[in-house]
Structure 1
Amino acid sequence: MQWTSILAIYFLFLVFSAFLLLPFGVKTHDEVGAEKVPGQADSAPVDFRPGRLMLRAMIIAAVLTTAYVLNYINGWIVPQDLIFFGPDAR
């Protein structure tokens, strides 16, 4: 596998995990008891930390990419293992 393919797969896992992590750990102004700015949405977070979010997403993406590349090299799960119905089903 080429390094550019690994980089592309890492980027896909990074974006997926960043969007997956967005709702976790978010507190609104009502939950914290902080004062709202006029015109602010009720669901706006009090303290949004994009750096922490991206760090967590990068770690998860690195783990998933490593697992993907190791599976590609060792062949633990092949496409034939994912056929559950039809004539080739085991």
Structure 2
Amino acid sequence: MQWFSIVAIYGLFWVLSAFLVMPFGLRTPHEEGKKIETGHADSAPVNFRPGKIILRATLLAAVLFAIYYANYIYGWITLEDLNFFGKPPVEDLGY
């Protein structure tokens, strides 16, 4: 696997991980018992910590990528394993 492919696939895992870990630990003003300022959304978090989200996303992406790369090296799951519909029919093209 080329290094650029590794970076690109890790980046995809990181973005997915960021969206997965983002809602954990966030609390709304209603949950905290705070007053909502004029012009703010009711669902806006009061304790948003981007550094914690970045750390969690980085760790989760590293674990997911390690599993992906191990599967790439050892071939635990291949395309043939994911073919749920059987082999496609062979068409006679009349050649």
Tell me if both proteins adopt one fold, taking TM over 0.5 as the criterion: yes
RMSD of aligned residue pairs (Cα, Å): 1.3
TM-score, length-scaled by structure 2? 0.85
For structure 2, the 5+ residue unaligned runs are 89-95
Percent of aligned pairs with the same amino acid: 58
Give aligned pairs, total: 88
Runs of 4+ in 1 over 3 A off after TM superposition: none
Structure 1 residue 23 displacement after superposition: 1.9
Deviates more, 1:34-43 or 1:58-67: 34-43
In proportion to residue count, which structure has more helix? 1
State the partner residue of 2:84. Answer: 84
TM-score, length-scaled by structure 1? 0.90
Structure 1 residue 85 displacement after superposition: 1.9
Name the SS of the counterpart of 2:69 in structure 1: helix
Structure 1 residue 45 displacement after superposition: 0.2
Query: How many Å separate the matches in 1 of 2:70 and 2:60?
Result: 15
Query: How many Å separate the matches in 2 of 1:24 and 1:68?
Result: 24
Structure 1 residue 2 displacement after superposition: 1.2
Larger Rg: 2
Query: How many Å separate the matches in 2 of 1:40 and 1:87?
Result: 55
State the partner residue of 1:30. Answer: 30
Which residue type is aligned with residue 16 of structure 2?
A: F
Structure 1 residue 36 displacement after superposition: 1.9
For structure 1, the 5+ residue unaligned runs are none
State the partner residue of 2:71. Answer: 71
